[in-house]
Structure formats: structure tokens, C-alpha cells
Structure 1
Amino acid sequence: MDVILAGIIFVISYIFIMTEKINRAVVALAGGALLLLTGVYSVNEMFTDYIDWNTIALLFSMMVLISITEKTGLFSFIAVRFAQKVRGSPIPLLIGVSILTALGSALLDNVTTVLILVPIMLKITKQLKLPAFPYLLVIIFSSNIGGTATLIGDPPNIMIGQAVDHLTFLSFVNHLAPVAVIMFLLLVVIILPLFRRTLRSSGSNIEGLMKTDASAYLVRTPMLYQSIAVLTMTLVGFLLHAFLHMDLTIIALSGAILLLLLTEKELDTEQVFSRVEWVTLFFFIGLFALVGGLESAGIIDHLARAIVLSTDGDFAATAILILWVSGLFSGIVDNIPFVAAMIPVVEELQAYGMTYLDPIWWSLALGACLGGNATLIGASANVVVAGLAEGANEKLSFIRFMVYGIPFVILSLVVATIYVYLRYLLPYTG
């Protein structure tokens, strides 16, 4: 009975999220409430087992850091200077932001990267009177591609790295960065022709931009230097977290609290909290609750085990099937809970005689990270971008995003299949 209830509630909630007739956070939270009312899981299980509070705290902390820093005019300054460097040309701007997003997502993590870059790009597109959608789309795609390349880039990679001791930071770079670079180059080649005609900026807007004094946006008070210092310390902490043996959430939360303390006299804390994207945070909570219903009912676990049984233990077939199922399924639900369910299943493959599991781990990572580009709820970064855009009155349409996202994910999975087969599986198919 729980399987039927959890499935029905998830499907109905998903339909309402797609149609966007009701606020997505309200829909997700209502779905979670129905799962509680129908007894699919208990309140204690929902709050302790299924809602990922580390992710929520990380997002909240970065929103606080960015909210305070934004008050100093730093992001406006960067936005204007960046646009001036490319002389307001829309196409170089599109390529530039995609490169920045991919690199940032690989070296930091994709959620932090989009939290920093999206407000900047929204300011630039507004200044140049350009459509925001192409830039937001390429930021989401680039963030998930860049996040694929390293252990800290995307939450699924972090989870896999924690589960498999011998898969180090350099292992992820060695095995996943090459295919991430290929996918990024394909993204640029595909995106440019699609939006070349729509990305045109008038000469008057460009002329006005070039005459703008970027430094005039900076509010040169102690808060400016405090924000830069704490934000820099936080980002360095992210880069060194593996050496510091400290969780990313702890680093972000410490940075946010420190900056709140330092700037309390200059900027009221209530004003900072009023600028936090609460709708995005509550949507995450509701989404975790919805997918938790599928986990509690055993739907995700049954799907994962069916993958193994359907291949009769064939190593190459199992790796390819995990790649595609994780890629397609991660487009429907957030990739974090799916990977959490798949990790013990992959570990159990040793019981089927598969002693060398690395190709299957890489298949799972590639499918989960790249598959997140299919829909607006496929990955954490997607949800954050949608929330920031909505807060700036640039709402991303769920359906419109899917029109671009699903074909790109199919292409990504085809490329990943060829890569996995040639690099890892060819010796097992002879």
C-alpha cells in the first residue's frame, strides 16, 4: 500500500511542479505533508532520514554570505567590469560565463558557483537588455558538467568518494575530467547556433555600458573588505576541506556566522535574512520529503536491484545500464537520494563476482551528474538557479527548460557510454 501511495503522491506533485500553476515550494511541501498523513513515513523519519539538512544549511549559509556581499556593490562592480571586458558582446559573454561556471563548479562546487554567478549575470543581462534565459540555461548545464569533473564538484561525487576509500580527488580528475571537457566543448558548439539570433544588444546599450564607471557601484565601507575577506576564506576552505578534514557545510556556516557578527552594526541581521531565497530552501525540503517517500516505500531500492538482476551479472551490461538508468532517473528526481540508494547496491555487486567495480562507480557518477541537466529539479544547482531567477522576476519555465535539457542529456549519455565502453569495458566484451 505504501508503494502505491508514495508513487501516486510523487507523480501528482511532479505534475503540479511541471505545470507551475501553484508555487513549487507549496506543492513539494504539500506532497511531504500527504506522505505524513497517509503514514508512508513518520515525522521523525522525514526529519532525520530523508531531509538532507547539510545541503539546506550549505545553501542557507551561501545565501547569507552572498546577500551581505551584494549590499557592498561588489557583484555589480564585477558584472559591469566583466561585461566591459567583452565590450558587451552577447556571444563572448555567453561563452565567458559558461567557462567561469564550469571552472568554478569543478574547483568549488556547483551550488556555490551558481549562487555567486547568477546574480552577476542577471545584472549584466538587465543592463544590456538581453534575454536572461540563454545565460541561465548555459550556467545550469556548465555547472553540472564542471561538477562532474572532480570529487567536490557535485554532491553525488562527494557521496561516492566517501563510500569508496581508494577513489581520491586525483582519481576523479583522471577518470571524469576528460569526458567533462568533451561535454563542455559540445555544449558550446550546440548552444551558440541555437541563440545566436536572439542574442543581440543595441549599440546604445553597449555604449552606455562602456561609459559606466564600475567603481561607482562599490560601497567603500568596512563591510566591503570584511565581505571580501570572509568570502575568500570560505572559498579557500572549500578547496582545502579534504586536507582540513572539515565538512563543507561547517565551513560555509562558520563563514556566514562570522560575517553576520562582523557586519551586525552596519547591516541589520533581519534585513539579511529577508533576502535569503526561502522559497528555494523550502522547495528543497519538500523535494527531499517527496523523494524520501519513494525511498521509504522501497521504490528506489527496487529499481536499483532490478538493474542488477536484468543484466544477469554481466559486467559491461551492468555498467552501461547503471549509466543510463542513473542518468534518466536523475532527471526526474534529485540525483542525491538516487545515488544514496545506489551506493549499497553497487557495493553488493561483489557478491555476484564483480571484484573490480571502478568502471561501475564512474558510470554511476557520470549518469547522476550529467543526467541532472534534464529538468529544473534534476540537480541542486538547477533548483538554486531557478530560485534566484524567480527572485529577480526572470522565472524559468519548467517545460521550456526540459525542451533543451532532455535532448542534451541524451547526447551526454551517448558520449559517456562511448567513453566508458572504450576506456573501461572493451576488455570485458571480447
Structure 2
Amino acid sequence: MEAAFSIAIFLVSYIFIIMEKVNRALVALTGGVLMLCIGIYDWNDAFYSYIDWHTITLLFSMMVLVSITQKTGFFEYIALLLAQKVKGEPVRLLIVISCLTALGSALLDNVTTVLLFVPVLLNLTSILQLPAFPYLISIIFSSNIGGAATLIGDPPNIMIGQAVEHLTFTSFLKNMAPVVFIIFICTMFLLYFLFRKSLKKVKLDPEKIKQLKPEDYLKKTPLLYKSLGVLGLTIVGFLLHPILHVELTTVAVCGALLLLLLSEKDVQAEKIFQEVEWLTLFFFIGLFILVGGLQATGVIDEVAKGIIFATEGDLPKTALIILWISGIFSGIVDNIPFVAAMIPIIQEFKDYGMMNLDPLWWALALGACLGGNGTLVGASANVVVAGIAATYGKGISFLRFMKYGFPIVIFSLIICTVYIFFRYLIPFMQASVQ
């Protein structure tokens, strides 16, 4: 009965999120509290088991860093420099922004990357009077695709890397990066095809672009150097994560606290906290509690076990079903709890005589990361971009995003199917015959 209630509450909440008639943070929190009220689990379980405080804290810390840095005019300066480099050409700008986002998501993580890039992008589209939606959606797609390429790029990869000792940073790069690169190039062609007409309609005066003076927007005060110094140190900390073994959340918190202390005389901490995207953070909390209800009642575990039952332990079938189920499922709910449920299930496959589990790990990682492009709630980066865009008056409709996102996911999964089949499954089947 509890499972039925948890599914019903989740589906009703999801419908209201899609309808966008009520603030999605309120909807997610209401659904989560209903889970608690009917006794599916208690507050202790919610706080200590289901809410991912690492993600919440990482987001909060990066929001603080970005909010302080934004007061220096640095993002507007970078935006105008970028506009001049591409001579204000909208399509070229789309491609450059997408490439930088994908690269940043691979080297840092996709949430941090969008927190850094979206303010730059929104300032740029505002100055040049360009439609924001094509650029916002390209940032989301690029962040999730680029983040899939490395161990630190997306939370599902980090979870898999922590659970499987021999899957190192280099392993992810060798196995994930090739197919991610192909998917990214194909996605760029699709985005160009989808938005080229609307972007080419925008007429920009080349002389006006040349006359822009990026340095006029830059406030060369001590706060600028403090902000850039701490932001730079934080990014270096992220890059050195595999060497230092310091959690990304710890690095981000240290960076935020250091900058708050250094900038205390320049900006009041109270004002910085007021500018944090609290609605986005509370939406995440509500979403974690909602999905936690599905975990607590065993719904997600049953989905995972159903995969094993359907494939009868056959490696090729299992790998492809894990790819597609994780891809579709990650578009509907956050991919983190699904991956958490799947990791111990895949590890149990050894008891069924399946010794080489690597194809299953790569299938899970690709499906979970790329499936996040399906809807606005499919990945953390999506929610963050939507939250920041809403504060700039450039809100993204759930259904409008899904119209573009779901086909991109299907297209990506088809490419992954071919990749997994030829790279892992054919060699396995040939070895089995011998």
C-alpha cells in the first residue's frame, strides 16, 4: 500500500511540475511532506538518507561565489569579449558557448560549469538582444553530454567510480570520452538545424559590436582580484580532486567561506545570502524527498531487479536494457537515486557467474548521464539553469524543454547502443563462442 501511495504522490507532483501552474519548489516540497505525513518514512530518514546534502551544499557554495564575482562586472566583460571574438554572429556564438560548456563540464562538473556560464550567457543575450532559449538549452545539453566524459563530470560517474575501484579517471576518459565526443558533434548539428532560422533572423550591426567596450563593464576594485583569485583556487581544487582526494563539496565550501571573509568590507554577507537561488535549492530538497519515497518503498529497487529478471543474466541483453532503462528513467527522476539502487544490483551479477561487469558500468553511466537531457528535472544542471534563467525573466517551460530534450536523449541512446555493441558486446560474444 505504501508503494502505491508513494507512486501516486510522485505522479501527481510530477504532473503539477509539468503544468507549471504552481511554483515547482512548492510542489516538490508539498509532495515530499505528504510522503512524511502518511508515514512512508520519517524526517530522520529524509535528512540523513535521502536528501543529498553534498549536492545542495555544492550548489549553495557556488551560488555564493558567482554572486560575489558578478558584482565586479567580470561576467559582462567575458560576455562582450566573446561576442566580439565571434563578431556577434548568433550561430557561431551558440557553437562556441556549447563547446566551452562541454569542456568545462568534463574538467570540472556540469553543475559548477553552468553556474559559471549561465550568468555570462544571459548578460550576453541581453546586451545583444538575442533570444535566450536556444543558448540556454544548448548549455544544458552540452553540460550533461560533456559531464559524461569523465569521472568527475557528473554525479552518477562519481558514484560509479567510488563503488568500483578499478574504474579510474583514465578509465572513464578512455571508455566514455569517444562516444561522448561523437554525441556532442551530432547534437551540435541538430541544434544548428533546429535554431538556425530563428537565430539568423536576428540582425546585429557589426559596427555596434566593434564599438562595445568590454573594459567599461569591469570594475577594477580589490573585490575583482579577490573574487577571481578565490574562484581560480576553487577551480584548481576541483581539477586536483583525483590527486588531493578532497571532496568537491569541501573545496566549494572553503572557497565560498574564504571569499565571504575576504569581501566582508566590500559586500554584506546578508545581501549575498539574499541573492542565493533559494527556490532552486528547495526544489532539489523536495525532489530528493519525493524520490526518497520511491526508494523507501522499494519501487526503484523493483525496477532494478526487474531488469535482471527480464534479461535472465545475459550480458549483452543486460547491458543494452540497463542503457535504455537508465536513460529513460533518468529523464523522469533525478539520476542519482537510480544509480544508487543499480550499483549493488550490478555488483551482485558476479554471483550469477558474470565476471566482466565493465560493459554494464559503462551502460549505466552513459544512460544516467545522457538521460538527464530528457526533462528539466532529469539532471541537477537542468534545474540550476532553469532557476537562474527564471531570476533573469527568461524562464524555461517544462514542456517546451521536453520537446527538444526527449528526442536528443533517444538519439544519444541509439548512438550509445551502437557503441556498446561494437566495442564491448561483439568481443564478448566472440570470446564466448571460442
TM-score w.r.t. length of structure 1:
0.99
Which residue matches 2:315?
A: 315
Which residue matches 1:354?
A: 354
Counterpart of 1:151, as a letter, is L
Asked if the contact 2:128–2:204 (Cα under 8 Å) also holds between the matched residues in 1, the reply is: no
Asked if the contact 1:346–1:360 (Cα under 8 Å) also holds between the matched residues in 2, the reply is: yes
Asked if the contact 1:128–1:201 (Cα under 8 Å) also holds between the matched residues in 2, the reply is: no
Which residue matches 1:64?
A: 64
**1:12 lines up with 2:12 in the alignment:** yes
Which residue matches 1:393?
A: 393
Q: Percent identity?
A: 60
Asked if the contact 2:130–2:202 (Cα under 8 Å) also holds between the matched residues in 1, the reply is: no
SS in 2 for 1:375: coil
Counterpart of 1:361, as a letter, is W
SS in 2 for 1:199: helix
**Moved >4 Å (runs of 4+):** 201-206
Which residue matches 1:287?
A: 287
Q: 1:186 and 1:260 mapped to 2: Cα distance? A: 42
CA drift at 1:128:
1.3
Q: 1:229 and 1:386 mapped to 2: Cα distance? A: 28
Q: 2:223 and 2:267 mapped to 1: Cα distance? A: 9
Asked if the contact 1:372–1:379 (Cα under 8 Å) also holds between the matched residues in 2, the reply is: yes
Q: 1:429 and 1:294 mapped to 2: Cα distance? A: 36
Which residue matches 2:177?
A: 177
Asked if the contact 2:68–2:227 (Cα under 8 Å) also holds between the matched residues in 1, the reply is: yes
Q: 1:119 and 1:206 mapped to 2: Cα distance? A: 24
Asked if the contact 1:90–1:201 (Cα under 8 Å) also holds between the matched residues in 2, the reply is: no
Give the count of matched residue pairs.
Answer: 430
Q: 2:54 and 2:403 mapped to 1: Cα distance? A: 31
Counterpart of 2:268, as a letter, is D
Q: How does 1:4-403 map to 2 (within 5 A)?
A: 4-200=4-200, 203=203, 205-403=205-403
Alpha-carbon displacement from aligned partner over 1:88-120 (angstroms, at most 9, x marks no partner): 100000000000000000000000000011111
CA drift at 1:208:
2.6
Counterpart of 1:61, as a letter, is S
Cα 1:76–1:311, aligned 2, differ >3 Å: closer, same or farther? same
Counterpart of 1:6, as a letter, is S
Asked if the contact 1:128–1:205 (Cα under 8 Å) also holds between the matched residues in 2, the reply is: no
Asked if the contact 2:88–2:204 (Cα under 8 Å) also holds between the matched residues in 1, the reply is: no
Q: 2:344 and 2:171 mapped to 1: Cα distance? A: 21
Alpha-carbon displacement from aligned partner over 1:180-229 (angstroms, at most 9, x marks no partner): 00001001111101111111365555433321211111111111000000
Asked if the contact 1:106–1:146 (Cα under 8 Å) also holds between the matched residues in 2, the reply is: yes
Counterpart of 1:182, as a letter, is I
Q: 2:400 and 2:406 mapped to 1: Cα distance? A: 10
Cα 1:164–1:174, aligned 2, differ >3 Å: closer, same or farther? same
Which residue matches 2:408?
A: 408
Asked if the contact 1:324–1:367 (Cα under 8 Å) also holds between the matched residues in 2, the reply is: yes
CA drift at 1:428:
3.3
Residue ranges of structure 2 left out of the alignment (5+ in a row): none
SS in 2 for 1:396: coil
Q: 1:284 and 1:21 mapped to 2: Cα distance? A: 18
Alpha-carbon displacement from aligned partner over 1:236-290 (angstroms, at most 9, x marks no partner): 0000012111000000000000000000011011111111111100000000000
TM-score w.r.t. length of structure 2:
0.98
CA drift at 1:30:
0.2
Q: 1:208 and 1:126 mapped to 2: Cα distance? A: 14
SS in 2 for 1:98: helix
Q: 1:144 and 1:76 mapped to 2: Cα distance? A: 25
Q: 2:2 and 2:255 mapped to 1: Cα distance? A: 42
Asked if the contact 1:114–1:385 (Cα under 8 Å) also holds between the matched residues in 2, the reply is: yes
Cα 1:4–1:266, aligned 2, differ >3 Å: closer, same or farther? same
Which residue matches 1:425?
A: 425
Counterpart of 2:243, as a letter, is F
Q: 1:136 and 1:203 mapped to 2: Cα distance? A: 20
Cα 1:427–1:247, aligned 2, differ >3 Å: closer, same or farther? same
Counterpart of 2:163, as a letter, is A
SS in 2 for 1:31: helix
SS in 2 for 1:12: helix
Asked if the contact 1:129–1:205 (Cα under 8 Å) also holds between the matched residues in 2, the reply is: no
Q: 1:348 and 1:381 mapped to 2: Cα distance? A: 31
Counterpart of 1:43, as a letter, is W
Q: 1:77 and 1:233 mapped to 2: Cα distance? A: 20
Q: 1:412 and 1:219 mapped to 2: Cα distance? A: 43
Counterpart of 2:264, as a letter, is E
Alpha-carbon displacement from aligned partner over 1:3-22 (angstroms, at most 9, x marks no partner): 01100000000000001000
Q: 2:185 and 2:255 mapped to 1: Cα distance? A: 35
